[in-house]
Amino acid sequence: MEVVMKRLIYRPWLVSAALLLFLAVGTPSRAEDQSARLAEIPKAMLGFVENRQISGAVTLVAKDGRVAQLEAVGLADVEGNRPMQKDSMFCIASMTKPVTATALMILEDEGRLALSDPVSRYIPAFEKVKLDGKPPARPITLFDLVTHTSGLGGSQQNQGTLAETVDALAERPLQFEPGTKWQYSPGVTVCGRVVEVVAGMPFEEFLAERIFRPLGMKDTTFRPTPEQAKRVATLYQPGKDGQSIQRAEHWLNEISEDRSPNPSGGLFSTAADLARFYQMILNGGELDGQRILSDATVREMTRVRTGDLTTGFTPGNGWGLGWCIVREPQGVTAMLSPGTFGHGGAFGTQGWVDPQRKMIFVLMIQRTGFGNSDGADIRGMFQQLAVDALCQ
């Protein structure tokens, strides 16, 4: 009887142990489920490769300070059959602008300039800017430049040195009174020159000394070395037959030792480097013990500073200091939280930070002639798959 009772007592424990073993073996863990979902991202990118919309892509997703996914698919160079790699470099075009804005705000943090300062305080050529042949109602300020409300118009292409380029911009007629409208402009280029003047060193040296080296961004530069150039992805455009892609040429992605730094769009970088920059911003200006900006300054940069002005490039956005801010998620931003900030580049590269979810999205492609890259299906699909994988 005693033996029987012991068996009756222990059987429930055996059943429970068997059930736990079954659950451990038979049910995917949360991490395994997330990995499976994240694996859908490179599959989707391969679909765009097969449809001849891109040659290849690098995608990176980070959450809670950790890189959850970094994958490369397709080719960096079709003609040379060079595979896309996780450390492939890309011309990030206008994704350079938040970096330039960060440089400006480092100096503001240090009390060496103020956003309310007139640009002419640092660049005398701006004393002579004209609107319809007359001086504007008020001077252009640094705030106007970094929020695209200055009234400056024209190409963002360099015209000689950075100093020469900015002086030439001051000679162009303004498009509207400063502060009254939003219009994407080369104003951030002027910010880069202001950084040079105030810091007393070339713009690219300031970026390297105060941002890139402290953050370990070893592959972010205006002038890729010969070794780095071997990793730069080729730019492609739609083929004439409408069924293929072909190599494209553009002044922005030219690699030359003689090229002047373009603060509005001249940087080359990698997904991993950009993720470190974005993580620093998400952390409130610090990464791995290196403080780049104060927390208060980061908050000022990443909130809407353009009021009710209509801004680009997709509906529902506002503008911060160098950053596009998702005010009302919709369309290609529907899966992002209000307050998400980031920037795109002319060749399809995208980088966005969702502070509510503590997520970073980096999409690296190189294409032109496919329409508004900020509103592209490839961006929307990438972001949606990342959110689905990590936020369920």
Q: Are residues 85 and 108 in the same domain?
A: no
Find how far residue 63's CA is from the centre of its chain.
16
Residue 6 has pLDDT above 60, yes or no: no
Return left, alpha or beta for 71; rule: phi > 0 is left, psi -120 to 50 is alpha, else beta: beta
Residue 112 domain flag: yes
Lowest mean pLDDT among 8-17, 102-111, 134-143, 256-265: 8-17
Q: Are residues 340 and 289 in the same domain?
A: yes
Task: Give 340-386 pLDDT, tens digit per residue.
Answer: 999 999 999 999 999 999 999 999 999 999 988 888 999 999 999 99
Residue 14 domain flag: no
- 218 CB contacts (<8 Å, ≥6 apart)? 212, 273
Lowest mean pLDDT among 5-9, 110-114, 213-217: 5-9
Q: Compute the average pLDDT of residues 133-140.
A: 98
Residue 228 domain flag: yes
Residue 86 domain flag: yes
Quote the pLDDT of residue 26.
53
Q: Are residues 244 and 353 in the same domain?
A: yes
More confident residue, 15 or 248: 248
Q: Are residues 345 and 235 in the same domain?
A: yes
Residue 230 domain flag: yes
Residue 82, strand partner residues: 77
Residue 266, classified by CB atoms within 10 Å of its CB into exposed (0-12), middle (13-18) or buried (19+), is buried
Q: Are residues 378 and 290 in the same domain?
A: yes
Q: What is the chain's mean pLDDT, rounded? A: 93
Q: Are residues 75 and 161 in the same domain?
A: no
Give the end of a domain, one of 138, 169, 199. 199
Model confidence at 1, in pLDDT bands (50, 70, 90)? very low
Calculate ∠ Cα 217-218-223, nearest 5°: 110
Q: Are residues 182 and 279 in the same domain?
A: no
Quote the pLDDT of residue 16.
44
Residue 109, classified by CB atoms within 10 Å of its CB into exposed (0-12), middle (13-18) or buried (19+), is middle
Per the structure, how many domains does the chain have? 2
* Domain hosting residue 244, numbered range: 31-95+218-390
Residue 204 domain flag: no
Quote the pLDDT of residue 155.
78
Quote the pLDDT of residue 375.
82
Quote the pLDDT of residue 27.
56
Task: Give 175-231 pLDDT, tens digit per residue.
Answer: 999 999 999 999 999 999 999 999 999 999 999 999 999 999 999 999 999 999 999
Q: Are residues 112 and 155 in the same domain?
A: yes
Task: Give 40-93 pLDDT, tens digit per residue.
Answer: 999 999 999 999 999 999 999 999 999 999 999 999 999 999 999 999 999 999
Distance from C-alpha of 363 to C-alpha of 377, rounded to nearest angstrom? 12
Peptide bond connecting 268 to the previous residue in cis, omega within 30 degrees of 0: no
Q: Are residues 89 and 109 in the same domain?
A: no
- 37 CB contacts (<8 Å, ≥6 apart)? 385, 388, 389, 390, 392
Distance from C-alpha of 382 to C-alpha of 42, rounded to nearest angstrom? 9
How far lies 378's CA from each of 70, 286, 339, 370, in Å? 16, 31, 22, 11
**% of the chain beyond a pLDDT of 70:** 93
Residue 4 has pLDDT above 50, yes or no: no
Q: Compute the average pLDDT of residues 125-145.
A: 98
**% of the chain beyond a pLDDT of 90:** 85
Model confidence at 19, in pLDDT bands (50, 70, 90)? very low
Q: Are residues 264 and 140 in the same domain?
A: no
Quote the pLDDT of residue 100.
99
Residue 291, strand partner residues: 286
Task: Give 219-265 pLDDT, tens digit per residue.
Answer: 999 999 999 999 999 999 999 998 899 999 998 888 988 889 999 99
State the CATH number of the domain containing residue 80. 3.40.710.10
Task: Give 289-298 pLDDT, tens digit per residue.
Answer: 999 999 999 9
Quote the pLDDT of residue 165.
96
Distance from C-alpha of 279 to C-alpha of 285, rounded to nearest angstrom? 8
Give the end of a domain, one of 172, 199, 226. 199
pTM of the model: 0.92
Find how far residue 67's CA is from the centre of its chain.
16
Q: Are residues 236 and 310 in the same domain?
A: yes
Q: Which of 44, 132, 148 is nearest to 97 (CA)?
A: 148
Q: Are residues 265 and 380 in the same domain?
A: yes
Residue 209 domain flag: no
Quote the pLDDT of residue 2.
36
Quote the pLDDT of residue 30.
80
Residue 273 domain flag: yes
Q: What is the 3-state secondary structure (H, E, C) of the chain?
A: CHHHHHHHHHHHHHHHHHHHHHHHHHCCCHHHHHHHHHCHHHHHHHHHHHCCCCCEEEEEEEECCEEEEEEEEEEEECCCCEECCCCCEEECHHHHHHHHHHHHHHHHHCCCCCCCCEHHHCCHHHHHCCECCECCCCCCEHHHHHCCCCCCCCCCCCCCCHHHHHHHHHCCCCCCCCCCCCCCCCHHHHHHHHHHHHHCCCHHHHHHHHHHHHHCCCCCECCCCHHHHCCECCCEEECCCCCCEEECCCHHHCCCCCCCCCCCCCCEECHHHHHHHHHHHHCCCEECCEECCCHHHHHHHCCCCCCCCCCCCCCCEEECCCCEEECCCCHHHCCCCCCCEEEECCCCCEEEEECCCCEEEEEECCECCCCCHHHCHHHHHHHHHHHHHHCC
Quote the pLDDT of residue 28.
67
